[in-house]
Amino acid sequence: PDWSQDEFNRVIEIADKLKLQCLTHNTGDAGARRVINAYERALNMNGMRDARHVLEHIEIPAWEDWPRMAKYGMIASMQPQHFYGDETCEKNLGFERLQGWMPWKSLEQAGVRVSFGTDWATGPINPAYGLLLAALRVNFRGDHNWGPDEAVDIETGIRHWTADSAYNLFMENEIGTLEVGKYADLV
């Protein structure tokens, strides 16, 4: 729906008051800020808790919003296969803004939990493809010049797909790592 910020804030406030985890799709820095503002407002109104509100598909959050995401325990749910981009993405964002496209490493360094997923409906479901894109940051042109410092090593990428995604689901005690007592979900 095309809600005003006040209407959106109210929906998030009600969901948070009911102790529900909010998972909100967003795109662009303005979209991310709108969601961050609503989550922050709801947690301030209803009281801080381990809400783990999620920003789904967050791709280009403004760096000045990262500390708030960390402070309020928001999760950046990201799909590395979207990093590959296309001509439209390149044209609309421009080279300078693409340096902040999917800032995986910087978000984590700012204290934001990052979880990876495949977004199976719009891209290859094989996480190995996204893992390679996260490590290499190669774009549709075969270049590595869109924020190369944001690449994550393979071990970190695997953690984002496993332990961090389990945390995102409030399931870190059941899945996400290989430990006695957890489900042995192996691929």
The pLDDT of residue 64: 97
Inform me whether the pLDDT recorded for 17 exceeds 90: yes
pLDDT in tens, 35-90: 999 999 999 999 999 999 999 999 999 999 999 999 999 999 999 998 999 999 99
Q: Does pTM top 0.95 for this prediction?
A: no
Helix and strand totals (H; E) in the chain: 8, 4
Q: Percentage of residues in the chain with pLDDT exceeding 70?
A: 95
* CA–CA separation, 79 and 119 (whole Å): 6
* Token pair of 169 as six digits: 């689901």
Q: Percentage of residues in the chain with pLDDT exceeding 90?
A: 84
Spatial CB neighbours of 2, under 8 Å, sequence gap ≥ 6: none
Average pLDDT of the chain, as a whole number: 94
pLDDT in tens, 67-79: 999 999 999 999 9
Inter-CA distances, 167 with 9, 53, 94, 151, Å: 25, 11, 34, 22
- Would you state the torsion angle of the CA atoms of residues 65, 165, 47, 43, taken in this order, to the nearest 10 degrees? 30
* CA–CA separation, 177 and 90 (whole Å): 37
The pLDDT of residue 123: 63
* CA–CA separation, 135 and 78 (whole Å): 14
